[in-house]
Amino acid sequence: MATTAYREPLSWHPERPRFRPARLVVAWILAALALMAAAWIVPGASVEGFWGALVVSAIVAALNAVLPPLLAALRLPFTLIAGFLLVLFADAAMLLAADAITDNAIHLDSFGIALLVALIASAVSVVLEVVFGTNDDDAYTVRVVQRVARRSGESARIQPVSSS
């Protein structure tokens, strides 16, 4: 086991993230399908076909690339529930922004309708990610553990989980 001396400077060597276009396209399509399902379930919400759902999903994805890091900084002192609600309200606001930006790609009667669509779309999206195996949080965690073990000079073997 490798040990470090007290007060030894730490070094960090970030790896470049992998860009996987196929995974991005699948996630985009699943988000559009989740949005279509939510708009179908919620009265007062409508999406103009699959292409409209793709456009709205792209707008929400672009806004999601910017807003959640800012929200994460704001919600640090809050509990998990407050953070979840804050992100949910932000998603509803993004859907309303997509309604304002696009020509009839999505129509939402009110903020409450947008909130309900955001909640249902998130739930449907989670189910679709599990069914299609596109949620790669576990793969990311494994890569991080292996990288930390490699840098510390130890080995990291991932044991398959037995189903009991």
Spatial CA neighbour of 35 closest among 98, 89, 82: 98
Specify the residue for token string 């779309």: 121
**Structure-block tokens of residue 164:** 């009991």
For every one of its 164 residues, what pLDDT tens digit does the chain have, with 9 covering 90 and above? 455 566 666 666 666 667 778 888 888 899 999 999 999 999 999 999 999 999 999 998 888 877 777 766 665 666 667 777 888 899 999 999 999 998 888 999 999 999 999 999 988 988 888 787 776 666 666 666 777 777 776 655 555 555 44
Partnered with residue 106 across adjacent β-strands are 47
Residue 59 one-letter amino acid: I
Residue 45's H or E segment, with its range, is strand 45-47
Alpha helices in the chain (DSSP H): 21-41, 49-74, 80-101, 111-132, 137-152
- Round to whole Å and give the CA distance between 84 and 90: 10
Tell me how crowded residue 155 is: count the other CB atoms within 10 A of its CB.
8
- Round to whole Å and give the CA distance between 77 and 25: 35
